[in-house]
Amino acid sequence: MKPIDLRMEGTHQGAIEVARNRMIFVMVLFTIGFLILAVKLISIGIFQAHGSSYYRTGNSDGSLLMARADIVDRNGVILATNLKAPSLAVSKRNLKSPPKEIATKIAAIFPELTHDDVMKVLRNKSNHSWIKRKLTPKQLYAVKQIGDPGLETSDAEKRIYPHGRLLAHVLGTLNIDNKPLSGIEAYFDSELSDPTKSEEPIILSIDIRLQHILNQELSLYKEKFLALGAAGIILDVTTGEVLALSSLPDFDPNDGKGPLSKIEINRISQGSYELGSGFKTFTIASGLDNNVIKQVDDYDATYPLRVGGFTIRDDHPKKRWLSVPEIFVYSSNIGTIKIAQDIGISSQKEFFEKLGLFKKTKIEIFEKTNPQLPKQWGPTELATTAYGHGIAVTPLHLVSGVAAMVNGGRLTPATLLRKDSIPAGLLSLVPYRAQTDNASTQVISPKTSEIMRNLLHWAVEFGTGKKAKVEGYLIGGKTGTAIKPFENKRGYDDKAVISSFISVFPINEPKYLIFAMLDEPQGIEETFNLISAGMTAAPLVGNIISRVGPLMGIGTTQQNEVEYEDFMLVSGPRK
């Protein structure tokens, strides 16, 4: 039996063809639409991989807020980053509820705002006014529940400092409008705010582990001695990299206010002080390097010295002739002045200038100050500057200079950037480091540097820095106790001192320099009410070394591994 052949002709056949064509057309449109969507998704995935670096906001002006690049420590730990934080504004023309009712509801959400505070905002002439910046998620939810279209929220960027106050003076802060106020944030603002580089963090030389140690010890000793302030720095003497920097009192960068008074300044780079006997390091190095003195030379330190109408005494008088090493180890003011007199004003000034003591440091923050130099250089100024009085510099000046004294004689500018990770775009902001061959200046010979290492070590072993000793480590250091001038600069206050200690370890192969200072420490029973650097700052630095050494893998060393050449410690009179 043949199959039935059904055919539809005429009107019915035409209707089916039209329907089929329409279906095909619709399917083609859907296919094209899906293809366009797929291409768009692929484009976003490939070409806007960094899309998180910027986002549209609900601002009335439709502005585009761009994320700020992160700041990280040398090991990649985040020090500054961003979070989206909505802000609340009012558009008066869009308000549906009575202002008093709105003010009551807003004040209930934000305890820091009173009903009158909100009413002042609602009554001002501007149609669009900010009520509260940087809302928490809970506050944002409560505002949304009010449901009035006149209350507008907009995304904004909030800078977060996860470690709080710990690096306040290094990082600086942004104000409520995300404008930089200080620190790295201000110095590298153009780089940090560049939207094309928002995924490229700035890598600092800071090691957050060392920063914690430094800050903890400074805080403990500031409280222990009831000091007005404290400050410290850990420096790599071979590279000039700042591994930790702390200044107390500090401030909370998360509140967007920055330092609120002069006691919260960065004492390391911005505070200018007469730092006392640390300068003896420079005076003796200058004499040795210029062949004015030799280690075997003797100077009479039997009696106080009269200079320019002033009587200068030794804090630890031996009342006899002292060799050059003894002058340094016992921190003799008299012997140091006599060495400076042999060096002469011109040569001494030239050496200080070579060390960068006459101008601002080059570190990458704006919070820096010029040294306070003598108005004239005569015999009196030559004498006082030889042992760190009559010339006021920042601790960073002293630190950089001493680093050069021990690292083979090379003066290298201190930096807050990890040197092997400086992007090309930052070189224009650190021009002195653009060519690494020119980064250091030879200021003393390697031979003189070797002698200075020995002198610094002896000062800890036998001299005023004994309380900085740490078992198993070879440490070099120099105490500095300087009385402070009165605020009117007329005379000195014998009861107010800056006590500081600068150390280098391991001194046989210098790697780390640690400096700490206390501003006006008060005597305590433990120190027999003494406030000298040897009793206050030296043990502080010793504690830091005892924690930093093992952490950084510095091996212990036997004492007899250091040679004691040409060192003379004697008792009794010398002719």
Residues 249-262 have pLDDT tens digits of 999 999 888 887 88
Q: What is the pTM of this model?
A: 0.80
Phi/psi region, residue 412 (left: phi>0; alpha: psi -120 to 50; beta: rest), is beta
User: Alpha-carbon distance 335 to 309, whole Å?
Assistant: 18
Evaluate if residue 538 carries a pLDDT over 80: yes
- CA proximity to 231, closest of 571, 544, 500, 556: 500
Domains and CATH numbers, the chain: 209-561 (3.40.710.10)
User: Alpha-carbon distance 270 to 272, whole Å?
Assistant: 6
pLDDT digits (tens, 9 = 90+) for 411-451: 999 999 999 877 666 655 554 443 344 578 999 999 999 99
- Give residue 128's pLDDT band: very low, low, confident or very high (50, 70, 90): confident
Q: Which residues contact 199 (CB under 8 A, 6 or more apart)?
A: 50, 53, 69
Task: Tokens 């042999």: give the residue.
Answer: 342
Q: Are 334 and 277 in contact (CB under 8 A)?
A: no
**What confidence score (pLDDT) does residue 169 get?**
96
pLDDT digits (tens, 9 = 90+) for 299-312: 999 999 999 888 99
Q: Rounded to an integer, what is the distance from CA 408 to the centroid of its chain? A: 26
CA angle 254, 257, 258 (to 5 degrees): 90
pLDDT digits (tens, 9 = 90+) for 20-53: 777 787 787 778 877 777 766 666 555 444 433 3
- CA proximity to 245, closest of 268, 218, 275: 268
Q: Are 343 and 286 in contact (CB under 8 A)?
A: yes
Q: Is 157 helix (H, G, I), strand (E, B) or coil?
A: strand
- Give residue 535's pLDDT band: very low, low, confident or very high (50, 70, 90): very high
Average pLDDT over residues 452-464: 96
**What confidence score (pLDDT) does residue 2 get?**
52
Handedness of CA 299, 302, 304, 307 (dihedral sign): negative
Residue type, 111: P
The C-alpha R_g of the chain, in whole angstroms, comes to 34
Phi, psi of 568 (to 5 degrees): -125, 115
Average pLDDT over residues 517-531: 95
More confident residue, 119 or 26: 119
pLDDT digits (tens, 9 = 90+) for 545-557: 999 999 999 988 7
Q: Are 417 and 205 in contact (CB under 8 A)?
A: yes
Phi/psi region, residue 195 (left: phi>0; alpha: psi -120 to 50; beta: rest), is alpha
Q: Which residues contact 331 (CB under 8 A, 6 or more apart)?
A: 277, 280, 314, 315, 316, 459, 463, 464, 478, 479
* DSSP letters spanning 283-344: HHHHHHHTTS--TT-EEE-SS-EEETTEEE--SS---SEEEHHHHHHTT-HHHHHHHHHHH-
Q: Can you state the angle between helices 99-109 and 137-146, rounded to 10 degrees?
A: 160
Q: Which residues contact 417 (CB under 8 A, 6 or more apart)?
A: 202, 203, 204, 205, 241, 364, 426, 430
pLDDT digits (tens, 9 = 90+) for 143-196: 899 988 889 887 777 889 999 999 999 999 998 778 899 999 999 999 999 988
Average pLDDT over residues 113-142: 86
Evaluate if residue 326 carries a pLDDT over 50: yes
Q: Is 552 helix (H, G, I), strand (E, B) or coil?
A: coil
User: Alpha-carbon distance 168 to 265, whole Å?
Assistant: 10
Residue type, 347: S
Task: Tell me whether the omega of the peptide bond preceding residue 521 falls within 30 degrees of 0, making it cis.
Answer: no
User: Alpha-carbon distance 536 to 538, whole Å?
Assistant: 6
pLDDT digits (tens, 9 = 90+) for 331-347: 999 999 999 999 999 99
Q: Are 92 and 122 in contact (CB under 8 A)?
A: yes
